């Protein structure tokens, strides 16, 4: 199997934790619902490939995201391996109740930096959504659960256009103040560029938010995800969200194409000599298998190149 030549670069972390979102964020945008047993096998294969944080599903009502129906059955049947984290997304206290009933130890909440997306995704204003999340985070903390926060539309919004950096920092800081351990900054429609990424991360640092509490979540709509990732690594980021095979998008934002492909990310990191613990050959095989289940080719450039 072809692998990149390893040429380290200065000023980069020695290890990066990949937060794999393919089983949740990836599959939630599929036109058809993937059977639960296929989802479970997908997660197992991702773990076999060396991924150690695999976001399994969301306890959202299937009325809103039917592709994630059967979440309870999925988590109940997972072979939870030592050293592998299986967080789930919860939209509200009802979702938290479901997570607690199934022994989940890590959850995520999903906020918005803009009013337009908050109203479309959560049917609330930004302030109302943070108010809704407050008891979720508090109760989760009391139960010993770790809570991650996503904030979407950090770099642009299809309804509002450009999003002010200070606006993103304000919302992100408020989510962290609730008690979340990490904040993932989402480029939901893929419009970010490297300089914008650098400026946003610097603004968080200036606000007193340590870079080790931040993660990045890029979409590749305009082909900028890897360039943006490299800019984030140079700024000190060590957690990067990615989706196996480049699966995903956002059901509430039609301009949101696929996530950064995990294989493309691993190729970059392997070439830089940055440790991930991920076996690229096994990961590519997993994404090829998943593409067969979905009946279409994987959009990942690395999967395509290594499958030709």
Domains of the chain: 17-307 (3.20.20.70)
- Give the predicted TM-score (pTM) of the model: 0.96
Rounded to the nearest integer, the mean pLDDT of the chain is 95
* CA dist list (Å): 285 to 35, 226, 298: 20, 21, 11
Other C-beta atoms lying within 10 Å of the C-beta of residue 307: 14
Residue 263 CA to residue 27 CA, distance in Å, equals 17
Tell me the catalytic residues: 250
Q: Which of 62-66, 126-130, 296-300 has the lowest mean pLDDT?
A: 62-66
CA nearest 172: which of 206, 139, 222, 219?
Answer: 206
| pLDDT band (50, 70, 90) for residue 251 | low
Percent of the chain exceeding pLDDT 70 equals: 97
| 98 within 8 A of 107, measured Cβ to Cβ | no
Residue 193 CA to residue 51 CA, distance in Å, equals 27
Residues 88-92 have a mean pLDDT of: 96
């Amino acid at each position: 199997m072809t692998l990149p030549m390893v040429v380290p670069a200065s000023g980069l972390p020695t290890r990066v934790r990949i937060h794999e979102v393919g089983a949740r964020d990836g599959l939630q945008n599929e036109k058809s619902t993937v059977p639960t047993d296929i989802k479970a096998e997908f997660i197992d294969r991702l773990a076999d490939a060396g991924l150690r944080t695999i976001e399994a599903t969301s306890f959202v009502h299937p009325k809103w995201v039917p592709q994630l129906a059967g979440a309870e059955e999925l988590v109940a049947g997972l072979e939870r391996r030592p050293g592998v984290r299986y967080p789930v997304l919860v939209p509200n206290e009802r979702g938290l109740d479901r997570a607690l009933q199934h022994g989940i130890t890590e959850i995520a909440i999903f906020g918005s930096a803009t009013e337009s997306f908050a109203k479309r995704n959560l049917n609330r204003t930004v302030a109302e959504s943070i108010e809704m999340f407050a008891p979720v985070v508090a109760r989760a903390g009391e139960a010993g659960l770790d809570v991650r926060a996503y904030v979407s539309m950090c770099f642009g919004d299809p309804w509002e256009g450009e999003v002010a950096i200070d606006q993103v920092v304000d919302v992100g800081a408020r989510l962290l103040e609730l008690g979340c351990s990490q904040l993932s900054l989402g480029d939901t429609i893929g419009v970010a560029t490297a300089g914008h990424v650098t400026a946003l991360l610097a603004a968080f640092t200036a606000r007193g938010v340590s870079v080790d509490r931040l993660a990045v979540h890029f979409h590749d709509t305009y082909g900028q995800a890897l360039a943006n990732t490299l800019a984030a690594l140079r700024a000190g980021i060590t957690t990067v969200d990615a989706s196996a095979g480049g699966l995903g998008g956002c059901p509430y934002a039609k301009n949101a194409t696929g996530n950064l492909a995990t294989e493309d990310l691993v190729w970059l990191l392997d070439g830089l000599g940055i440790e991930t613990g991920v076996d690229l050959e096994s990961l590519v095989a997993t994404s090829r298998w998943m593409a067969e289940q979905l009946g279409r080719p994987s959009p990942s450039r690395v999967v395509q190149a290594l499958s030709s």
